[in-house]
A and B are shown apart, each in its own frame.
Chain A
């Protein structure tokens, strides 16, 4: 069974600094997608970035980028130039490509605090 692990329950970063959130996953499949979701205090789940496993190039969305290491089954999120609005819970998630159920499997989350 696939699993997703986020080993950092809480992280803190100074405003304008860079922070990296860790995620590892376990799967025997070769074709899948990985995601980072942000959940601010409003509770709304917001997609931050996605990575297709078949792509070697790391995904980037403005200040957010990932370091995808397929062999190591690692998928970390880097937030550059951190802003107060980045303070939130961040979830890493996995979905199998072409699966019958399209179920997302989530990690337990990392709570990010941004210090002014």
Chain B
């Protein structure tokens, strides 16, 4: 049971390049999330998904797109990277069971856009 995994762990992009971050979870969770973490701002929600085939915008969605074609995978895309997207990105998945809630996080991806 690997939990939540993210690929890649580090990436450097030039302005205008595109890339896709992959998140995978093996816990059969319905809910998945993409956050970005910037100094002094905590974790901010970019996009989220409440189930396979559904996605929705979070707090800071501009410049990002997502897809959830399979329940276990949640992809985050940057079509044209900008220096303002330099950040650490976290994927997470969550579940409710017997009134107990838990959100599991991936290890993060450090992205630098030059």
- Residues of chain A whose beta carbon lies under 8 Å from any beta carbon of chain B: 9, 33, 42-45, 47, 50, 52, 91, 95, 97, 100-104, 106-109
Contact = CB atoms under 8 A, between A and B. Distances in A.
Given A95-B101, A102-B101, A103-B45, A43 B108 contact: yes
Interface of B: 31, 33, 40-45, 48, 50, 56, 58, 88, 90, 92, 94, 96, 99, 101-103, 105, 107-108
Contact of B42 (A100, A101, A102, A109): A109
A44 B107 contact: yes
Nearest to B96: A102
A14 B57 CA distance: 42
A103 B48 CA distance: 8
Given A95-B103, A101-B48, 11 more contacts: A33-B101, A50-B101, A50-B102, A52-B99, A91-B43, A101-B31, A103-B48, A104-B43, A106-B44, A108-B41, A109-B42
A101 B54 CA distance: 11
Nearest to A9: B40
Given A43-B88, A43-B108, A104 B103 contact: yes
A106 B45 CA distance: 9
Contacts of A97: 99, 101
A50 B31 CA distance: 19
A103 B101 contact: no
20 contacts: A33-B101, A44-B105, A45-B90, A50-B102, A52-B99, A97-B99, A101-B31, A101-B48, A101-B56, A102-B94, A102-B103, A103-B33, A104-B33, A104-B43, A104-B92, A104-B94, A104-B103, A106-B43, A108-B41, A108-B42
